[in-house]
Amino acid sequence: MFSFKLEIGEEPFVLVHTTENRGFTPEEVAERCVAKIISVSDNAHPGIRDQANAYKKHIEKVVAHYMREAIRSDRTTVYNNLKDAGHPELADAIRRL
């Protein structure tokens, strides 16, 4: 994964993430999601900063877990819709992903 960040002032003005020949993994998306939800100042007390960063890592794992569940659930829906539409071979290919 490639990332590019342009900062103007304290907040990133432009932040670009790319991949090559694949989509983003649940872990990569979870990391970006949690970065938007939880932040801690570099100037915070070291104990508070360490605790916040540990909490952030934990929440990334939780978000990634539920994203993987959502992906599996969506594939089940796509599988059933394709099978009901008379495309059992395509449905089976989706199931194997």
Q: Is 10 a domain residue?
A: no
Report how far residue 59's alpha carbon sits from residue 83's, in angstroms, rounded to the nearest whole number: 36
Q: Is 12 a domain residue?
A: no
Structural domain of residue 53, as residue ranges?
A: 25-96
| DSSP 8-state class, residue 83 | H
Give the H or E element holding residue 29: helix 26-37
Which tokens is 24 given? 């983003």
Q: Is 14 a domain residue?
A: no
Q: Is 9 a domain residue?
A: no
Q: Is 81 a domain residue?
A: yes
Q: Is 6 a domain residue?
A: no
Q: How many CB atoms lie within 10 A of CB 30?
A: 21
Q: Is 56 a domain residue?
A: yes
Q: How many domains does the chain have?
A: 1
Q: Is 20 a domain residue?
A: no
Overall residue count recorded for the chain in this entry: 97
14 and 4 Cβ atoms separated by less than 8 Å: yes
**pLDDT, one tens digit for every residue, the chain (97 residues):** 766 666 666 666 677 888 899 999 999 999 999 998 998 888 899 999 999 999 999 999 999 999 999 999 999 999 999 999 999 999 999 989 8
> Which regions of the chain does DSSP assign to beta strands (E)?
2-8, 11-18
